[in-house]
Structure 1
Amino acid sequence: MDKTNEYSKDEQLKPYRADHYNKNLTTNQGVPVSHTDDSLKAGSRGPTLMEDFHFREKLTHFDHERIPERVVHARGFGAHGYFQAYEPMTEFTRASFLQDPSVKTPVFVRFSTAIGSRGSADTVRDVRGFATKFYTKEGTYDLVANNIPVFFIHDAIKFPDLIHALKPEPHNEIPQASGAHDTFWDFVASTPETAHMVLWLMSDRAIPQSFRMMEGFSVNTFRFFNNQGKAHFVKLHWKPVLGTHSLVWDEAQKLAGKDPDYNRRDVWDAINRGDFPEFELGVQMVKEEDEFNFDFDILDATKLWPEEVIPVKKIGKMTLDRNVDNFFAETEQVAFHPGNVVPGIDFTNDPLLQGRLFSYLDTQLIRLGGPNFHEIPINRPIAPLHNNQRDGYHRMTIDKGRVSYFPNALQGNSPHPVPDQEGGYVHYTEKVEGRKVRERSKSFNDHYRQSKIFWNSMSPIEKQHIIEAFHFELGGVMDKQVKQRIVDMYNNIDGHLATQIAMGIGATPPANPSKADVSDSSPAVSQENTIKTAKTRQVAILAENGVNFSEVNQVMNALNSAGLHCHIVSSKQGMITGVDGQQLEVNKSWLGAGSVMYDAVYVPGGRQSVDQLMQLGDALHFINEAFKHAKTIGATNEGVDLLTTSQIKGAKTAGKDTHAQLVKDQGVLTIQNAADMGNHNQEGYFSQEFINAIAQHRHWERANQKKFIPA
């Protein structure tokens, strides 16, 4: 790749950026404006005059500044970054951006929820989009992915039916961003191929902790092919460096009210503070001659390729290091299309993919106003554009010359096609033949085997969360027959699962619960087996006036050094004064914070501070709720008293023992009689153990927590 094109998308966008700070106000024609608070009138109380061109322009633009929102994936959030390959992939693909590890390819990523409108919440139970635009020297490549590796349906012709069923019901536009209603579950019960995807949707994967902790999957099967014409079937993966982690459902619901922008704010803040989100690009590859060597059809989008059977080869890393300057101009106007491929990447006969190749382009024509949406700055390739396409809405390029056709003699056949040998795009040569039929391959007919493998792969707590998700979602269904059909459908997967679903929704358990006839599992699909790290996690420190400043300072320094971030939460924002007179700045008040916004809670000592906290219902609720959500909780010295006053278990006091002793129980860490919170050579090694506990994400060993924690 030409090194002059390294990471150049930012430079390309500069001419389109407008800095309005300390600038004179003008019209869109550049005419200086002297007054913008009052329209031009015939007298101070007279009618507005239509000759007021500033008024007309200002109002006209306002009246027309909205564009149609996306039919699906309307709510999204984007960021800029770059991608670097780990090693040359010449053996498998000729795609240039996958060859040179020294080259940074600029990217733009848009994360999204699928079903809700632009105004819905980030934390709803839904499929998440993970679309990446690579601005390569050979043109734009779009990797349009989801955070779930399978899809609801086999064939794109059913996509309108799926989305119509999932969207709010047409007679009352209820519910928003939720599948908890009759029409969705009626479609599921009537369409057995949805069984696998719905299990994933009911799992914790559908409520990610952060976009930074979310996998991405191409879902569809593509091809890599090299310069010799050798091809591999491939599926592509984004693997988050921080691991794959999720919220719990109660947490997700509360966040939707407290901070509906929770996931987008998380990415925005992380990039601003330098915690750049990182994702490794992985690829699963199947040789052409091995296409039919599996017990599933590799072109079936309702099936995954088990990583234990077809390993994921990590081939590069993406880093998101810059937030957008203008949400509408970039995030809202960006247009992705799985048909945007570069030499060395091609399509397969995956029937869901074939339909997407039409649908994405078709919807962009109406949403972005015509065929020239590729000239919008965020969509414009960094590769030079030369063709004979002219005119149309919003044309931004000023093409020179009178020739706009090929072949031509007047311009020496320029622009001319590029031979394959010189890098011109060619499709992989594949023999295709058959009779025109409307039917499905019989190899797509197994709807339940992989669903059973997914269920077998879940840890006990993940299975419990799936059952509870079914209870909530089906609890919104009014039609009893639909509920019963779902129970009967999932009895084909696991009799215990079907029975548990029935017990929570008032349906009849299966008379003959199915016995397990598939023992296979795929450990890779369980989030219990993901990367565990405390880096970038958020810790709430509960404190009031009279807190032990030394304790807080020691713990905060240790947490910050390990890459975590702390917020002081107190009754009022401003400053609080420690027992020694030193002050701490409060980041959040009880009204503006909640335990659902943090990964862990710490209560430092200081008699006056703790006594005040023990009288505050907000503080006790904060602790109890964090415990209910299986988060790490720590307390030092007098801070332990707040935990013993709360309703959590695991908060043990040292009694009359004058020696500092760390007590750990179910993710609750306490230490008393300790002066040094960070010295590993003494008994007061609280800080490191606290960090280690936070890295575990949750402490699911808190069995039957609902028995002693109020809802």
Structure 2
Amino acid sequence: MAEGAFHSYEERIDAKKIRGRSESFSDHFSQPALFYRSLADWEKSHVANAYAFELGKCNHDPIKERMLWLIAQIDQDLAKKVAEDLGMSVPSSIEKPINQAIGADAKVKEHQPGKKKNYLDKSPALSQANTKFESIAARKIAVLVADGFRMKDYENVQKLEKEGATLVLIAPHGGTVTCDQNMKHSVGAAIATTESVLFDAVYIPGGSKSIKALQKEAKFTKFLNEAFKHCKAIIADNEGEDLIDGTYIQHHKEDQAVLINEKVAVIKKTIAQHRNWKRMEIAEMVPA
């Protein structure tokens, strides 16, 4: 205070202590509505799918109806999409009061939410679509290999480790695998013990012997299909493309995040983008 900080004038007062809230506490819908309006189409799809997934596990229709009504106050189209997935319709009204989280001495009507207000049409900052991804630091890349994989291909991608990425060898078994230069490499995980969701991208080096071994393990196909479904980067060199040709990816090699025999600079830039969300519509049809 001696340095000029704010300080209230001290005076004796006689008042009644109450528990009160600003009127803005009752505005339940304006902020989520702004958030939803600001999202890219693929993000809106994620939100609708998330609502449908969680509510789909609820066995009580009154709860689902109440939630659908609340979602409709945020966005009518969003509520309709969720309702369609639930096999229900959006109710026109629900049991009142809407807000029951009020103080014991508060008036119920004064704390009920009104209609959403549009203070701002959109905020670019609320959408991941406007986020710039430039670094691959901490990105985890699954490298699918078996004995005989081409070391020259692998060495090229190993350059990404200098940028902070982590390469993990995924093989048909644990222990070690031997490359075509007769060097042993430690396996990060056997294919039976891991899943694509743990990685940000997938790389397949060439080597006929290696690829033939991978083709015999069905889970490598599942691993690639799931990574593609989740819009991740898929990279392959030389015979590594043959493994891709046994997956759903073979029909979508023109995808901007499916790279065949590309330069490491292009690989780095693609992985840095994190996901190719333009793939969403195609990805939803992948049987994985």
> Of the candidates 180, 185, 191, which is equivalent to residue 579 of structure 1?
180
1-structure distance, mates of 2:201, 2:36? 30
**What does the per-residue CA deviation read over 1:455-488, in whole Å, with 9 as the maximum and x for residues that have no partner?**
1111211111111111111112222111111111
Could you tell me which amino acid in structure 1 is paired with residue 5 of structure 2? G
**What does the per-residue CA deviation read over 1:476-531, in whole Å, with 9 as the maximum and x for residues that have no partner?**
2222111111111221121101111211223213569xx99735222222233334
Q: Structure 2-normalised TM-score? A: 0.82
Q: What's 1:238 paired with?
A: none
SS in 2 for 1:702: helix
Contact kept in structure 1, 2:231 and 2:280, CA below 8 Å: no
- The gaps in structure 1 that reach 5 residues or longer are 1-224, 231-427, 653-663, 672-684
Aligned length: 263
2-structure distance, mates of 1:568, 1:503? 43
- RMSD of the alignment, in Å? 2.6
2-structure distance, mates of 1:646, 1:702? 16
Q: What's 2:258 paired with?
A: 668
| Distance verdict in 2 for CA 1:632–1:597, change over 3 Å | same
Contact kept in structure 2, 1:548 and 1:578, CA below 8 Å: yes
Q: What's 1:498 paired with?
A: 79
Summarize the alignment of residues 122-271 of structure 1 with structure 2, pairs less than 5 Å apart: 227-230=3-6
Contact kept in structure 1, 2:27 and 2:116, CA below 8 Å: no
Contact kept in structure 1, 2:69 and 2:92, CA below 8 Å: no
Q: What's 2:278 paired with?
A: 701
| Residue 465 (str. 1) matches residue 46 (str. 2) | yes
SS in 2 for 1:540: strand
| Distance verdict in 2 for CA 1:496–1:226, change over 3 Å | farther
Could you tell me which amino acid in structure 2 is paired with residue 228 of structure 1? G
Contact kept in structure 2, 1:647 and 1:708, CA below 8 Å: no
2-structure distance, mates of 1:548, 1:525? 44
SS in 1 for 2:193: coil
> Of the candidates 636, 643, 647, which is equivalent to residue 244 of structure 2?
643
> Of the candidates 123, 139, 145, which is equivalent to residue 537 of structure 1?
139
Summarize the alignment of residues 87-486 of structure 1 with structure 2, pairs less than 5 Å apart: 227-230=3-6, 429=8, 435-486=16-67
Q: Which has the higher contact order (CA 8 A, sep 6+)?
A: 2
Q: Percent identity?
A: 33
What is the deviation of 1:612?
1.4
2-structure distance, mates of 1:478, 1:566? 44
- The gaps in structure 2 that reach 5 residues or longer are 94-114
2-structure distance, mates of 1:695, 1:580? 30
Contact kept in structure 2, 1:650 and 1:668, CA below 8 Å: no
2-structure distance, mates of 1:620, 1:467? 29
What is the deviation of 1:571?
1.3
2-structure distance, mates of 1:607, 1:699? 29
What is the deviation of 1:227?
3.7
What is the deviation of 1:579?
2.4
Contact kept in structure 1, 2:248 and 2:286, CA below 8 Å: yes
What is the deviation of 1:646?
0.8
**What does the per-residue CA deviation read over 1:360-397, in whole Å, with 9 as the maximum and x for residues that have no partner?**
xxxxxxxxxxxxxxxxxxxxxxxxxxxxxxxxxxxxxx
Q: Structure 1-normalised TM-score? A: 0.35
**What does the per-residue CA deviation read over 1:27-78, in whole Å, with 9 as the maximum and x for residues that have no partner?**
xxxxxxxxxxxxxxxxxxxxxxxxxxxxxxxxxxxxxxxxxxxxxxxxxxxx
| Richer in strand (by share) | 1
2-structure distance, mates of 1:581, 1:440? 72
Q: What's 2:196 paired with?
A: 595
2-structure distance, mates of 1:483, 1:227? 57
What is the deviation of 1:584?
2.3
| Distance verdict in 2 for CA 1:617–1:226, change over 3 Å | farther
Q: What's 1:631 paired with?
A: 232
1-structure distance, mates of 2:287, 2:2? 60
Q: What's 1:520 paired with?
A: 121
